[in-house]
Structure formats: C-alpha cells, structure tokens
Amino acid sequence: MHQEERGSAQQITVGVAVGAGAAVAGLLPWIITGMRLPLQNLWATPTTDPSDMPIALLPFSQYAVTTIAALLLVGGVVAGIAVRVLRARGSVRRSGSLAALAGLVGVQVVAVVETAVVTGAGMRMDGTPGTGADVSAAQLYVVALTVGSLVCVGAAAVLAALVARAAPGGALVALAVGAVALGSWANTFVVPPVSSPGDAAGVVLAVLRWLPAVAVGAAIAWTGLRTVGQGIAALIALGLLWTGTAAITAVSYALGSRVYLPYPLEMVSAGATVFVMAMGPAGATLVPLLVAAVIGVAGAVVVRLRDGRRRSEP
C-alpha cells in the first residue's frame, strides 16, 4: 500500500515538473529577451526607454497578441509531446498526465495574473473608475488582454491533452495548431515583441518563415498516414497551416495599426481583407503549404518502410 502511494506521489511530482517545465519552455523566447513589459500608450509615467518598464511574464500589448498566444500554445504542445513520449516508455500513467496538465496551467495562469497586475498598476488612472476616457480605455485594455490570454491558456491545455493522449489523427491536428504558433514563437528569439528587426534579423526571419511548414510536414510524417482518418487529419493540418498563417498576418495588421484601434468595426473589416489577401497567391502561403505536403508524404513513406523492415526482422 505504501509502495503504491509512493508511486502515485512520484507520478504526480514528475507530471507537475513536466508541465511546469513545458510552460517555461513556451515562455523561453520572452525570458531570454529580458521580460520587459512593452511600452504602453496609456502608461502613467511617460517614457520612451524600454528599460524603464517593469518585468512581466508576458508581453502585454495589443501589438503582441499573436506573440502572447504563441508563447502559451507552444508550451501546451511541448507538454503534450513530453507526456506522450513518457507514456510510450511507461514512465507516466494517468495521474502523471493529469499532474502535467495541472503544472502547465498553473504556471501559465501565474504568468497571466502577474502580467495583468503589473500592467494594471502602471496604467494611467484618475482614481475614479468609469469617469474618464483614460480610465475606461486602460481598464478595457487590461481586461481584454487578460481574458484573451486566459483563453489561450485553456487552448494550450486542450492541445496538451490531445497531443498527449489522442489517437495519431487527433494529435496531428493539435500539433498543426502548435506548428502554426511556432513561427511567432521562434521569431521572438530574434526580435522582441513591439520591436523592429534589423537587416541581420531580417535574414533570420526569412529562414524561420518556413518553420511552421516544416513542423506540419514532420507531424504528418510521424503518423505514417496509415489510415483514412490520418489522411483526413493531414488535410486538416494543411488547412490549418494555410488559414492559420493568414490569420496571424491579419490579426497582426489589424491590431498593429493605431488608426483602427478606436474603430472596432473598421478594424475587423481591415483584418478580414488582409486575411483573404494572405490566403491567395499574393500572400505567398501556397508555397509553404506545398513544402509541408511534400515533407509529410515523403516522411510518411519513409516511416512506413522503416516500420515494415522492423516487423520483418526475426
């Protein structure tokens, strides 16, 4: 009995460590770049020096919405991959999987709450809630970013669960969502949120542009495309790569333009227009789609041949 209890406690400890570590891995690009809160339009103390801003665990800014989502979603996918690998080796059971999910969500919620508190404390307020435009704008800004980030935490938990325990087809769809976010995540290593890339950074960013396509292709190859369901999942993954990349472009454009911020309807319209353009040939999203398909099919053939040779060996 005591041995079972120790085994269960060990499973929970390992699971929490895996989940928390995955959450930190997701935040890694932001941690490396210094974790200074981006300059804010409604900041109480006017400043143009980024070093004057406080430390925050997430880059709260309307110009960094896609980066926030990427930091959280990639953490969820990393947790799912780690748990799936450990389950395959028999190192983690159901209790460990649930503990990993708890560790992931716990660290990410702490990151969101800490950032919301730090951002709210520094905003320009007149002390009388609801009586001034600045107060309303600042409150709406912090609440919107906080709620949106918590939604991303929930999405990260779903992705982690699917990658960790779903059949290969379901895991592939979740991996494709993470692969789309991987582009923005990797870009943060090179250019911190709300910063302009230099010439050298532009070269690196041009290379990283292909990372989501390669990741989706690798995920398709991993399944081996052995069943009709996996084939359908592969098509969904390619569709997510196509639409997801276009959606990131559209959201970044709409929220990154201060002209549209006071006009929500115009912002949505502008984003929708850019989304449609980004999905067409002019958006240059079709070539990465083809790259992902080629990698996926070729890799799946290699995986099936390898598995076939292993089964034929005495």
For the chain, the first-to-last Cα distance in angstroms comes to 41
**CA–CA gap between residue 138 and residue 147 (Å, rounded):** 14
Across 39-43, 113-117, 276-280, least confident range: 276-280
Q: Scanning the structure block, which residue is given the tokens 């709260």?
A: 60
The mean per-residue pLDDT over the stretch 217-236 comes to: 94
Q: Hey, what are 6's tokens? A: 């120790």
Q: Does position 129 have pLDDT exceeding 70, yes or no?
A: no
Q: Is the dihedral of CA 106, 158, 255, 212 positive or negative?
A: positive
CB 184 within 8 A of CB 248: yes
Q: For the whole model, what pTM was predicted?
A: 0.89
pLDDT digits (tens, 9 = 90+) for 266-286: 778 888 888 888 776 655 567
**CA–CA gap between residue 191 and residue 188 (Å, rounded):** 5
